[in-house]
Amino acid sequence: MGTETVENRRHRVVVIGSGFGGLFACKHLEHDNVDVVLISKTSTHLFQPLLYQVATGILSTGEIAPATRIVLRKHRNTQVILGEVHDIDLVNRTVTSKLLNQDTVTSFDSLIVATGAQQSYFGNDHFATYAPGMKTIDDALELRARILGSFEEAELAKTQEERDRFLTFVVVGAGPTGVELAGQIAELADRTLVGTFRNIDPRDARVLLIEGAGAVLAPMGPKLGGKAQRRLEKMGVEIQLNAMVTDVDARGVTVRDKDGTERRIESACKVWSAGVQASELGKMLAERSKGTETDRAGRVIVEPDLTIKGYPNVFVVGDLMSVPGVPGQAQGAIQGATYAAKQIKAEVAGKQTPDQRKPFKYFNKGSMATVSRFNAVCQIGKLEFSGFFAWLIWLVLHLYYLIGYRSRTVTVFQWFVAFLGRNRGQMAATEQWVFARLALEAMNGNESDAREVRAEIGDTPAPGTPSEAKDGSETGGPADSGADAGTPSGTDESATSRTPRPPAG
């Protein structure tokens, strides 16, 4: 689509992002006298709250990430474009997106920007090499491969010290994602994997949840946070509060306690769920507007009608917007997008002008987190629930918001298998899932040999190390065991020598 003028066409709304904000904006504009163009860098609508279940083998990606163009197939006024937006021209009202090497310029009359947030490492982006976050499908698959791969490596470890390191899982950040992930790794070890290895007992796995603040699930208050903490501890999760992770490398993490002392935790598998940073487009919008600012996390401090200063046709919604009292949750994105769509609708229909808009009001429907199967904590207004009842509320609400009948049906079946039985249906993991992100980063950095990336992780053969048998024939190791799979791991000591990268920093 080339650059167009506004003549001979309907009012065009461009929506950027296919998450909760983007999708709900499209849904609310479906029957209106407007054309909608949804541009997103991912081809799916991702239900992030269940990513941790993909990472721990309960759900497949299809259940939580249906293709956006299929979801919107019946929206006759909507076109879906795959591409990463890298430029927004507010004056000429165009958005430029890129797919591979091709730029596409799309003109707009109204713009809704819902590009969300990414993981933040608080300025230590190199931590990501060893401790991926959990924001995308790629992250969840990479984590699944790293978690399962660590058990595989432990099975083949030569020393107790090595075994312990592979069986130590560190989750950084005790917000909802950290709590859910720690609980599920513990259940994976204590239920699903029991009896599947011969040299190790997966129940020996240590799951550590490390939090810089003094409480688990701090935003949910001390009562619910305390209940979640006690439940996790009962499951064997070791919770370390007031503990700041100051370094992450291939072999573990360095932690600084409240009294200033530093200590090491040896761990092959680390997960980062400690902070968020808004999409880069927030900064661009703020700089190009007439005086809009961003907050510390890069979110756009929007006007009361969710627009940016000087541009009443440009809305920012979801995790990218900063509105006092609105948390970075699905409800904030859905309600913001619905509000923006309603303003556009009313103005296109000539029922109001931008200066007649009523300010956006957020209705807090509450928050929740699962701790383990049959156990959750949940806050709705002033009411607080925990245990099985809270878990039932969690279950019903998540099913309600999952997109599509098929996703809901399959998800119910997978939950049935995982929660009532002890098996999980999605335990596949490949070596590529562990290394693809790093290989892409290496390629983008124009490094010649992506194989070098494998050494970045540590515990992998450095480039040039002879035994890289993918079928395990040379080593007797697993062909496809996830993290560090393909690593020499047989009985011959020479084939097992590893060349760990020196700790970062």
Ligand X SMILES: Cc1cc2nc3c(=O)[nH]c(=O)nc-3n(C[C@H](O)[C@H](O)[C@H](O)COP(=O)(O)OP(=O)(O)OC[C@H]3O[C@@H](n4cnc5c(N)ncnc54)[C@H](O)[C@@H]3O)c2cc1C
List residues near ligand X by CB under 6 A. 16-22, 39-42, 48-49, 51, 84-85, 114-116, 134-135, 176-177, 279, 281, 318-320, 328-331, 333
Give me the DSSP letters along 151-165.
Answer: HHHHHH-SSHHHHHH
Minimum CB separation of residue 13 from ligand X in Å reads 15
Closest CB 29 distance from ligand X, rounded Å: 15
Rg (Cα) of the chain, in Å, rounded?
24
Burial of 291 (0-12, 13-18, 19+ CB in 10 A): exposed
Is 180 an annotated catalytic residue?
Answer: yes
Q: Which is nearer to ligand X, 60 or 352 (CB)?
A: 60
Retrieve residue 201's tokens.
Answer: 């007992």
Q: Residue 189 — φ and ψ, nearest 5°?
A: -70, -40
- Comparing CB distances to ligand X, the nearer of 135 and 345 is 135
Q: Which of residues 116 and 478 has its CB atom nearest to ligand X in the complex? A: 116
Taking the C-alpha atoms of residue 276 and residue 278, their distance in angstroms, rounded to an integer, is 7
Beta-carbon contacts of residue 386 (< 8 Å; ≥ 6 apart): 224, 227, 228, 375, 376, 377, 378
Distance of CA 230 to the CA centre of its chain: 26
| Sheet (strand 11-16) strand order | 78-82, 34-40, 11-16, 110-113, 311-316, 307-308
Grouping H, G, I as helix, E, B as strand and the rest as coil, residue 88 is strand
361 burial type by CB count under 10 A (0-12 exposed, 13-18 middle, 19+ buried)? exposed
State in angstroms the smallest separation of the CB of 134 from ligand X. 5
Least distance in angstroms from the C-beta of 431 to ligand X: 24
133 or 488: whose CB is closer to ligand X?
133
Q: Are 12 and 37 in contact (CB under 8 A)?
A: yes
Residue 480 beta carbon to ligand X: minimum distance, rounded to whole angstroms:
26
Residues ≥6 apart with Cβ < 8 Å to 236: 186, 190, 207
CB closer to ligand X, 441 vs 474: 441
| Least distance in angstroms from the C-beta of 468 to ligand X | 33
The nearer residue to ligand X, 289 or 322, going by C-beta atoms, is 322
In angstroms, the Cα distances linking 139 to 58, 157, 294 are 15, 26, 26
Task: Point out the catalytic residue in the list 63, 155, 180, 303.
Answer: 180
Alpha-carbon distance of 54 to 191, in angstroms, equals: 17
> Which CB sits closer to ligand X, 340 or 418?
340
Minimum CB distance to ligand X, residue 336 (Å) = 8
Closest CA to 22 of 91, 95, 93, 92: 95
Bridging pattern class, strands 94-99 and 102-107:
antiparallel
Longest dimension (CA), the chain: 78
The residues that are catalytic are: 180
